[in-house]
Amino acid sequence: MGMWQGILQGYESAKDRKRQEEAEAKLDALNSENMRLKKVDLLAKYASKHGSSFAGGDYQVASKSSGKVPLKSSQHYINILKDLDINDKLITKSAGYGPRNLRMIVEKLQQTNTKHQNLYGKNSELPIDLYNDALESLIVTQRNSPTFDITKYEELFDVKLTDVEKLIITPPINQYPDISFSPKSLFLQEKSTQADLSAADKRGVEFSLSRATQEMSRLNKRASEILSISEQTGGNLSDNIQAEKTWIENRIVEVSTALADNKDGDFAPLAYLYGNNFMQEIIKYDPKLLDAPLNPAFTVQRDTVIEVPNRDVAMALFQSGILKKGMEVLNLSTGKKIRIGGVQ
């Protein structure tokens, strides 16, 4: 019995040692895996923050949200664009840029829409053409998909990643381009104040009276010069000079009559003669007056242009200072407008 008891005790002791060794080995393995997982966690955080460090191009890891407002479905943003009456083809095109870009587009248009309502009233007509044109001119930049070298991170943190961990940590390929609106494509012209309108109307009256007085002086001077030419040539004027003479005589009657009417309190004839020129000048100076409710005496004449027999006469009148650089006149010989000082 003593011998067998000793053998049994030795066997049990060996089993205990084996169990202890296995337990220690499992504990070591667990500690090792825990350490590895800590390294994996550090690696993942580092890769998320420094995604471009070991990438073959400029890369930014996407965060959960680019702003405080969570990203919603593409259909949500598409519905908003439909409510803004955006062109269907442009909505489809915008949706193809991905949810984040689609959200940016919607937010920009909503901001512009709010500004428009503040400027022109909540019941004002939406500037749909502005929105559609802005979407047509979007700046689209295709992003290069980087080569993300995960082995560099493994070497840096001295850890071996599993295939699943590599898949989770490696950033996705750049699926969508970068989108931005062209500069000033959503620009809204501020509304003119009543003070602006009053000042413009006053300036229009002053402009017309000054221009008429100045033109009369130059018309008379040029008429005198043509009279001298006629006397020197025995009345044999060239066709162009004869056409210029006729134009000047008719114009003197128009301008002098308008000046006389203005003295009698009727400003309309002066506005008829110079309203177009004034509107060109004032809008160039202050674009927000383009559709402003100015004195009808000016706005009605916005499309009225001076008529000239031909281009040569127009240039002669320009050289005499009667027609001003930048003015548009109608060339009766061609039926086309001429910009004085420019090309036909």
Q: Are residues 174 and 201 in the same domain?
A: no
Domain with 213, as residue range(s), is: 194-339
* DSSP conformation class of 70: P
Where do the DSSP E strands lie in 162-227? 178-180
Asked whether the predicted pLDDT for residue 89 surpasses 80, the reply is yes
> Residue 344: what pLDDT?
42
Q: What is the tens place of the pLDDT at every residue in 191-200?
A: 655 565 566 6
Query: Of 180, 203, 226, which marks where a domain is finished?
Result: 180
Query: Of 180, 209, 226, which marks where a domain is finished?
Result: 180
Nearest CA to 240 out of 165, 182, 319, 186 is that of: 319
| Non-local CB neighbours of 191 within 8 Å, separated by 6+ positions | 119, 120, 288
Q: Report, as an integer, the average pLDDT of 104-111.
A: 92
What distance in Å separates the CA atoms of residue 298 and residue 273, rounded to the nearest whole number? 10
Angle at 182 (CA atoms; ends 178, 184), nearest 5 degrees = 145
Burial 177-208 (b: 16+ CB within 10 A, else e): eebebeeebbeeeeebeeebeeebeeebbebb
Token representation of residue 73: 């479905």
More confident residue, 88 or 170: 88
Q: Are residues 325 and 200 in the same domain?
A: yes
Q: Report, as an integer, the average pLDDT of 143-167.
A: 79
What distance in Å separates the CA atoms of residue 314 and residue 342, rounded to the nearest whole number? 12
Q: Report, as an integer, the average pLDDT of 138-164.
A: 80
Asked whether the predicted pLDDT for residue 207 surpasses 80, the reply is no
Q: What is the tens place of the pLDDT at every residue in 272-330?
A: 777 666 665 655 556 555 565 566 666 555 456 788 999 999 999 999 888 888 788 88
Q: Report, as an integer, the average pLDDT of 220-243.
A: 91
Burial level of 74, CB count in 10 A (0-12/13-18/19+)?
middle
What is the separation of C-alpha 283 from the centre of its chain, rounded to a whole number of angstroms? 21
More confident residue, 34 or 247: 247
In the block, tokens 């460090």 appear at 53
Query: Taking each helix axis from N to C terminus, what angle separates 150-157 and 2-49, rounded to the nearest 10 degrees?
Result: 130
Token representation of residue 262: 């203005």
Whether 269 contacts 261, CB under 8 Å: yes
Most confident listed range (26-40, 123-137, 170-184, 212-226):
212-226
Q: Are residues 334 and 206 in the same domain?
A: yes
Which residue type occupies 312?
D
Q: Are residues 213 and 329 in the same domain?
A: yes
Most confident listed range (157-166, 201-210, 266-275, 290-299):
157-166
In residues, how long is the chain? Answer: 344
* DSSP conformation class of 289: G
Distances (CA, A) of 181 to 76, 87, 236, 316: 21, 17, 64, 47
Token representation of residue 260: 């006389």
Q: Are residues 335 and 200 in the same domain?
A: yes
Q: Are residues 201 and 306 in the same domain?
A: yes
More confident residue, 240 or 166: 240
Query: Of 151, 180, 209, which marks where a domain is finished?
Result: 180
Q: Are residues 312 and 236 in the same domain?
A: yes
Confidence band of 219 (pLDDT split at 50, 70, 90): very high
Asked whether the predicted pLDDT for residue 105 surpasses 90, the reply is yes
More confident residue, 234 or 191: 234
Q: Are residues 301 and 209 in the same domain?
A: yes
Asked whether the predicted pLDDT for residue 248 surpasses 90, the reply is yes
> Residue 177: what pLDDT?
83
Asked whether the predicted pLDDT for residue 59 surpasses 50, the reply is no
- Residue 237 within a domain: yes
- Residue 150 within a domain: yes
Report the C-alpha dihedral over residues 44, 46, 47, 49, rounded to 10 degrees. 120
> Residue 60: what pLDDT?
37
Q: Are residues 198 and 175 in the same domain?
A: no
Angle at 170 (CA atoms; ends 67, 63), nearest 5 degrees = 5
Q: Report, as an integer, the average pLDDT of 57-65.
A: 38
- H helix runs in 53-98, sequence order: 74-83, 88-95
Nearest CA to 297 out of 324, 322, 279 is that of: 279
Q: Report, as an integer, the average pLDDT of 66-76.
A: 73
Percent of the chain's residues with pLDDT above 70: 68
Q: Are residues 98 and 131 in the same domain?
A: yes
- Residue 107 within a domain: yes
Whether 67 contacts 109, CB under 8 Å: no
In the block, tokens 């281009």 appear at 311
What distance in Å separates the CA atoms of residue 257 and residue 266, rounded to the nearest whole number? 11
Q: Are residues 167 and 232 in the same domain?
A: no
> Residue 28: what pLDDT?
62
DSSP string, 91-113: HHHHHTT-HHHHHHHHHHHHHHH
**Model confidence, pTM:** 0.44
**Is beta strand 178-180 parallel, antiparallel or unpaired with respect to 139-141?**
antiparallel
- Residue 12 within a domain: no
- Split into its structural domains, the chain has a count of 2
Whether 282 contacts 204, CB under 8 Å: yes
Q: Are residues 175 and 205 in the same domain?
A: no
Q: Which helix (H) or strand (E) holds 140?
A: strand 139-141
